[in-house]
Structure 1
Amino acid sequence: MAGNFYTVECPDCENEQVVFGKAATQVACAVCGSTLAHATGGKAVFEGEVLDTVERREAPDDLTGSS
């Protein structure tokens, strides 16, 4: 899966939540229900402040079957 995850701060309650950068649907805050991200068909538009980028992790070669 190509894309990164981002830690986004809710503009209403200041909850920090991890959101996929290419969200396919609207993402709501788990605490107050406020909208954190809108889907655009590509990169999501974030309503709250992006605090951090959570890089995707690569699987070790022995788990993926690659040589």
Structure 2
Amino acid sequence: MKKLSLLLVLFSFLFVACADKKPKIETEELKTEMETEVDEMETTIVDSLSTTMEKAKEEIEDAEEEIDEMLEDL
């Protein structure tokens, strides 16, 4: 029974030691790719928000000018 246990332990160590390490590298590459995609998405969101804010600013300025003209008419 001891010999069988020792053989199982030995084979398990060999199996773990000889395991292919490449999938770990691929997961790291996937993480960096995902981080890059997230950064690009964040950049896109920030760009669209800044564009929306610029449009709103222009609309507010136009409204201010119209209000000033109306007040001058009064």
The two structures share one fold, judged by TM-score above 0.5: no
Give the structure with the larger strand fraction: 1
Query: Which has the bigger relative contact order, CA under 8 A and spacing at least 6?
Result: 1
Q: Return the index of the structure with the highest Cα Rg.
A: 2
The TM-score range, normalised by the shorter chain, is under 0.3
**Which is helix-richer, 1 or 2?**
2
TM-score (norm 1): 0.21
Q: TM-score, normalised by structure 2?
A: 0.20
